[in-house]
Amino acid sequence: MSTIAVIGTLDSKGHEHAFVAELIRQRGHQALLIDLGTGDEPVIEPDITRFEVAAAAGVDLQPLLERHDRGECVVAMSQAIPFLLEKLASEGKIHGVISLGGGGGTALATAGMRTLPLGFPKLMVSTLASGNTAHYLGTKDIAMMPAIVDVAGLNRISRMVFSRAAAAICAMVETPIESTESKPIIVASMFGNTTECINHAKEVLENADYEVLVFHATGAGGKAMEDIIASGMVSGVLDVTTTEWADEYVGGTLGAGPTRLDAAALAGVPTVIAPGCLDMVNFGAKETVPEKFAERNFYIHNPQVTLMRTSAEESAELGKIIAEKANHYKVPITLMIPEKGISVISEKGQPFYDAAADEALFQAIHQHAKIPVISLPETINSRSFAIACAEQLLENIKLSNQ
């Protein structure tokens, strides 16, 4: 029998959480009700009180409650619930977690869910599930279900949604995970414009008996890859799609933060880096592009995605950033440059072909890099360039193991 944590503010949403807990019990599982409320007394009796939640992080909740500062209390609980859930999960006392909430409840519950490992069942029923959920999910596999109506009582709509949610978390807990042969892991970054490169390289790496995990360089994808690298699970990094730095530096929508490229250096993981798709900055629909970029070169990828070509000045700065990041590695690392195109649309004759911008990028890399740089007269998606990257990574791993 599995135990599913049902977490939430049981002072205002207690009946809804109790409803879900009962459905979970009807399906043969145990439900552990955990109170995150800091207002009135809980309307149902929790299995773990708000005071016990706070105490898990060494917080004395009573003085905070007496100050009647709701913001201070919510912050304290959002900092405490990760400690409690991580402890319960690591001790095998819970096997899944579910919550229901609006803005405050979603922030509280997902703060705890984000501390749980990948693969651990976690489901958030939220009134915010239809908007931008990046700050709630982080880089974790939290499933979010739209609440449709507010989490404010039980009615014909909420009963239906909550019932499906209870069934979903039970199914997640019940579903066995197929175990696969344990192979060393290589992570790789990919964009639509570098897909062929990764496909060719992946073939070489898999033939060398590695499992290759591919991450889409969409900001969240880069952050997730960095997290996996930092976890210590990874034997090598094929980071040929560093495009997120273009968005980070210029101001696009898919930046991955200033620590992108840092994890492998800190974890000591052999790496190959290429300036894949540093020719493009991502925006939404054309009308969302900031006015200051009005005279730039654009490519409409689809109605929702507009790409902007990086200038020579921006490319030079990006080359410097990539090189200086690479210089911090203390393990074998190589920068690989495809001289004839860093994306499908930057090759000669394509919309983003800009010899001056590419030359500024490549010169900056050579000028600032203190680690090996290999330039090849190839496009990034050519089979020969992809194979060269894969073989260089295998060599770097070999050198690291000596």
Of 397, 378, 374, 375, nearest to 386 by C-alpha is: 378
Q: Could you read off the pLDDT of 364-393 as tens digits, one per residue?
A: 999 999 999 999 999 999 999 999 999 999
Same domain membership, residue 384 and residue 284: yes
Q: Assign 181 a pLDDT band (cuts: 50, 70, 90).
A: low
Could you tell me if 116 and 260 lie in one domain?
no
- Is 179 a domain residue? no
Question: Could you tell me if 156 and 52 lie in one domain?
Answer: yes
Helix (H) / strand (E) element for 191: namely none
Other CB atoms within a 10 A radius of the CB of residue 185 amount to 17
Instruction: Looking at the structure, tell me whether residues 163 and 240 fall in a common domain.
Output: no
Residues 206-214 have a mean pLDDT of: 96
> Are residues 192 and 167 both part of a single domain?
no
Based on the fold, state whether residues 159 and 194 are members of the same structural domain.
Answer: no
In this structure, the answer to whether residues 225 and 96 fall within a common structural domain is: no
Could you tell me if residue 227 is inside a domain?
yes
Task: Answer whether residue 266 is part of any domain.
Answer: yes
pLDDT reading at 180 higher than 70: no
Please provide the DSSP assignment of 13-68 as one string. SHHHHHHHHHHHHHTT-EEEEEE---SS--SS--SB-HHHHHHTTT--HHHHHHTT
Count up the domains in the chain and report the number. Answer: 2
Cα 19 to Cα 10: distance, rounded to the nearest angstrom: 12
Q: Are 238 and 201 in contact (CB under 8 A)?
A: yes
Report the chain's mean pLDDT, rounded to a whole number.
95
pTM of the entire structure?
Answer: 0.78
Q: Domain containing 55: what range? A: 3-174
Domain contains 180: no
In a domain, 274, yes or no: yes
CATH number at residue 386: 3.40.50.12030
Which residues partner with 186 through β-bridges? 212, 236
User: How confident is residue 17, by pLDDT bands cut at 50, 70 and 90?
Assistant: very high
* Percent of the chain predicted with pLDDT > 90: 88
**For the chain, percent helix, then strand, then coil, each to nearest 5?**
45, 20, 40
Give the CATH number for residue 72: 3.40.50.12020
Domain stop point among 112, 147, 174: 174
Side chain identity at residue 398, one-letter code:
K
